[in-house]
Chains A and B, each alone.
Chain A
C-alpha cells in the first residue's frame, strides 16, 4: 500500500524549521551572540565611568541604564536578522515558500530573541549587582527584560525587514525602531524603578506583557508585508 499523498506540513512547521536553522547558524558563529552581550556589558560600564561611581547615583540610575543598554544591544543584533539571508539569496527562498511568510518571519524572530534577548536577561543580574540593585528587585528587572526583549525583537523585525539591503541600513534601522521601542523602555525601566522604591509595580508588568502579546500577534504580519515590499 503506497501512500502518495505526502503528509501536509503543519501550520507552524515552517516556524520551527526557520528557527532551528537560525539557531544552528548562530551556534556556528558564537560571535554573533556574544558581541551584543559584550556591548551590553560595555555600555553598562560606560555610565559609571562618565558620571562617577557614587553608590547613590548608581542605584538610582541602575534600572534606566540597564534598560537603555539592553535596548541598544538589541538594536545592534537586529541588524543582521535578515541581512545574511538577503545576501546569500535564502531570503528569496523564504519569500517563495509555500509556508505563510508571517510564520517564517516569526520563526526567525524567535531565533533572534533566543540568541539576543534571552541571553541579555540571563546576564543582566550580574550587571545589576554592580549597580547595587537590591536582591528583591533583580527578579523584577529580569522579568521586565524578558517581556521587553520579546517586544523589541518583534518590533525590530519590522524595521529590519523594511531596511534590509538598503545602503546605510543600520543607522536607518535604529532611527525607525527607536520611537517604537520607547514605550517599552519607559514601561520596563520605570517598573523596575518602582519596584526598587517599594511601590506597586505590577501594572507595569501587565502592560509589558500586553505589549509583548500585541506585538506577537501583529508584528509578524507587518514584517512579512515589509519583506515582500523590500524584495519585490
Chain B
C-alpha cells in the first residue's frame, strides 16, 4: 500500500500514470457537461422568479465551486510538500494556481453578468459571495506573484506553501466577515440557488455540471502537473532516457 504511494510520489511514475488517467477523467467529464448543458438550457423548467436567466447557475456554480476546490488543493498539497518534503506535491500546488484563478475569474464574471438582469447592476458590493470571491482572486494573484518573484524553485515552493496555508484560514474568515458586513448594509439580494427547494429537473443538470467540471478540472490539472514535473526534472536521468527513447512522450 505504501509502495503505491511511494510510486505515486515518484515523478517518472506519476508522469506516466497521469497520462493514462487523464482521458478517463476528461471523457466522462465532457459527457457530463454535455448532458448538463443540454438539460440545463433546454430541459429544465423556467424559474418562477428569475425566468430563464437562472440558467446561468449551470456555469456559475461549478466555477465558484472549482475556484474554492482548487484553492484547497493548492493549500493542502503545498502543506504536504512543506511537511513531508514531497516535490511532486509542490508541483501540484503550482499547477493548480492558474486553474483556480481562471475559475475564480469565471465565477466573478458569470456572477456579475447574472447580477445585471437580477439586480440591475454589473457589480453588487452588498453580495457577500461576490466580494469574498473577489478577495479569493486577490489571494490567487498574491500566490502567483510570490512564486514568480522567487527565483529558486524550492524556496518559491516553500514560501508559497506558507502563504497558501495562511490564506486558507483567511478564506474562511473573510467569508464570514463579508457576510456580516453585507448584512449590516442592507439592500443586497443574496443569489438564491434557483430557489429554496430545487426542482429535480433543475437539480440534476446542476449536479451533472458540478461533477463534470470537477472531472474536467482533474484532467486539466493533470496535464499542467505533468508539464510542471517535466520542467522541474528536466536535468534528470529518467527524463533524458524518456526523450531519447523512441519518442515516449
B30-49 vs A, Cβ < 8 Å mask (1 yes, 0 no): 00000000000000000000
B133-145 vs A, Cβ < 8 Å mask (1 yes, 0 no): 0010011011001
Closest Cβ of chain B: how far from A39's Cβ, in Å? 22
A226 sits at the interface (CB 8 A) = yes
Closest Cβ of chain A: how far from B159's Cβ, in Å? 5
Asked if residues B145 and A229 are in contact (CB atoms below 8 Å), the reply is: no
Chain B residue contacts of A229, Cβ below 8 A? 155, 158-159, 162
Is chain B's interface secondary structure helix, strand, loop, or mixed overall?
Answer: helix
Q: Count of A residues near B, CB < 8 Å? A: 29
Contact A162/B162 with A179-B170, A183-B173, A229-B155 known, Cβ cut-off 8 Å: yes
Is chain A's interface secondary structure helix, strand, loop, or mixed overall?
Answer: helix
A163 sits at the interface (CB 8 A) = yes
Interface size class of B (residues with CB under 8 A): 20 to 34
Instruction: Specify the chain A residue showing the minimal Cβ separation from B149.
Output: A166
B167 sits at the interface (CB 8 A) = yes
Asked if residues A162 and B146 are in contact (CB atoms below 8 Å), the reply is: yes
Chain A residue contacts of B119, Cβ below 8 A? none
B166 sits at the interface (CB 8 A) = yes
Asked if residues B163 and A176 are in contact (CB atoms below 8 Å), the reply is: yes
CA distance A187 to B138 in the complex (A): 19
Asked if residues B167 and A179 are in contact (CB atoms below 8 Å), the reply is: yes
Asked if residues B170 and A158 are in contact (CB atoms below 8 Å), the reply is: no
Pick from B139, B149, B174: contact of A183, CB under 8 Å: B174
Q: How many residue pairs, one in A and one in B, have C-beta atoms under 8 Å apart?
A: 72
Name B residues whose Cβ lies closer than 8 Å to a Cβ of A. 135, 138-139, 141-142, 145-146, 149-150, 155, 158-159, 162-163, 165-167, 169-170, 173-174, 176-178, 180-181, 184
What are 26 A-B contacts with C-beta separation under 8 Å?
Answer: A162-B146, A162-B163, A168-B149, A172-B146, A175-B138, A175-B142, A176-B145, A176-B146, A176-B163, A179-B135, A179-B138, A179-B139, A179-B170, A180-B166, A182-B178, A186-B177, A186-B180, A187-B180, A190-B184, A194-B184, A222-B162, A225-B162, A229-B159, A229-B162, A230-B155, A232-B155
Name A residues whose Cβ lies closer than 8 Å to a Cβ of B. 158, 162-163, 166-169, 172, 175-176, 178-180, 182-183, 186-187, 190, 193-194, 207, 211, 218, 222, 225-226, 229-230, 232
